[in-house]
Amino acid sequence: MDPKAAAIDFDSSPNNLEAFWMPFTWNRRFKQHPLLLASAKDMHYTSVDGRPILDGTAGLWCCNAGHGRQKIVEAVQQAVARLDFAPTFQLGHPLVFELASRLTNLVPGNFDHVFFCNSGSEAVDSALKIALAYHRMRGDAARTRLIGRERGYHGVGFGGISVGGIVKNRMFFGPLINGVDHLPHTHSLEHNAFSRGQPDWGLHLADELERLVALHDASTIAAVIVEPVAGSTGVLVPPVGYLQRLREICDKHGILLIFDEVITGFGRLGKGFATEYFGVEPDLITCAKGLTSGTIPMGAVICRKGIYETFIDAADSSGGTIELFHGYTYTGHPVAAAAGLATLEVYKEEGLFDRAAELSGYWEDAMHSFKGEKHVIDVRNIGMVGAIELEPRPGKPTERAYDAFVKCFEKGLMIRVTGDIIALSPPLIIEKAQIDEIVDTLRDVLQHLD
């Protein structure tokens, strides 16, 4: 296909761009120099001026099956024509029940129920509410405290930013939710720089949970929430044994463990979920993004056996009817459910999780080829995720990585930057030659970056 055929006539003058208040964006700079996408197919976006842009980030960590996949597109088209909307308050439709069943079968271990929502942020807030209500249903209402982690990202709801630990996401919005504490993050340039996969140093940081238990008493703590691999903060890979130790401490003290798998779910690590990759079973899993390969917004909370039953039994014993007073207008939306089912079929038919596992060694070598490059102070990787940390410019943090982002786009490559960290997470359909293209383009940009 001639990429110029995809060019569109669009007025990108600042006045025409002004009405949209863009999220997590330097709006003033963007509207002076906009980077606009017109279409997408497989591994590439196309800019409004018709240039192909290799997708090094699966959109925003979400398009794991690539773009414009025919099976998913057709499923969405057919679904919206057949049933554009159906409420799931006291009503239902077949697709959402089928998707829930498929998800519980996909996750290994003792998981048996799924609560649907519309995003990763909503999935996190839903999981936190389920955890709090679960203890109350069991007659343990004193367990109201939530434990997150420094540098954690759990979306942008008030629950998510309260348990999250990224300063800029929290500092503008007041005192947030009470009764939240945080574990230390596991990132250490001194001990872990240029680790391949899981670093050996840092297991002891999980024992900080015991300190928080001693400080607050286990009887007040409802849940601990962590990303198995912290993504949006710059790809922080858990030390060997770290997640296992968190599970042990939570079991010891009757605390629920929540894995935020919005990024790690659906093949990113070469397994369906990080719980399978690391061999650690949490009590709740939040997911979104790859659930529909980014096609239609959808999120979910996957619950281990016993949680749903606790709500049902408590309602029965009290003579109540509604077991969980929580939900969204678009919970289990029929078009999103259709997209989710089709996406799971693509993953299975094309063996994309296994493909990610097979490519991960090549990807690891490609990422670590940046060791010694100009400005690079660390490289991290796991599965099909990589991060290249740059030394910040004196007094101007984030600017060097942002300049790399813009220059890569100009050269036909989409990367993701957070602070001075370049994060890469390509669609799982990527070919080795395209991994080489990512590396060559980014290396050229870094070598010419001041």
Enumerate residues 6+ apart whose C-beta is below 8 A from 25: none
Instruction: Determine the Cα–Cα distance for residues 53 and 2; give it in Å rounded to an integer.
Output: 13
Contact 383, 273 (CB under 8 A): no
Distance, in Å, from the CA atom of 245 to the CA atom of 238, rounded to the nearest integer, reads: 11
Q: Is 376 left (phi over 0), alpha (psi -120 to 50) or beta?
A: beta
Rounded to whole angstroms, the Cα distance separating 384 from 156 reads: 25
Asked if pLDDT for residue 148 goes beyond 80, the answer is yes
The residues near 387 (Cβ < 8 Å, ≥ 6 apart) are 234, 235, 367, 378, 379, 380, 381, 421, 422, 423, 424
Structural domains in the chain, CATH included, are 3-65+351-447 (3.90.1150.10), 72-349 (3.40.640.10)
Distance (Å, whole) CA 408 – CA 441: 7
Q: What is the predicted pLDDT for the residue at 4?
A: 46
Residue 302 φ/ψ, nearest 5 degrees: -100, 125
Q: How confident is the model at residue 80 (pLDDT cuts 50, 70, 90)?
A: very high
Helix (H) or strand (E) holding 341: helix 334-349
Separation of alpha carbons 287 and 116, rounded Å: 10
For 240-274, what is each residue's pLDDT tens digit? 999 999 999 999 999 999 999 999 999 999 999 99
Residues pairing with 388 in the sheet: 379, 422
Which residue from 44, 48, 34, 36 is spatially nearest to 5, judged by alpha carbons?
48
What are 223's strand-pairing partners?
Answer: 146, 256
Residue 226 has pLDDT above 80, yes or no: yes
Q: Give helix then strand counts, H and E, for the chain.
A: 17, 15
The answer to whether the beta carbons of residues 331 and 299 sit under 8 Å apart is no
The pLDDT, as a whole number, for residue 11 is: 85
State the residue for tokens 């408590």.
314
pLDDT in tens, 345-373: 999 999 999 999 999 999 999 999 999 99
* pLDDT value of residue 2: 46
SS3 36: coil
pLDDT at residue 10, as a whole number? 85
Residue 321: which pLDDT band, with cuts at 50, 70 and 90?
Answer: confident
Neighbours of 85 (CB within 10 A): 11
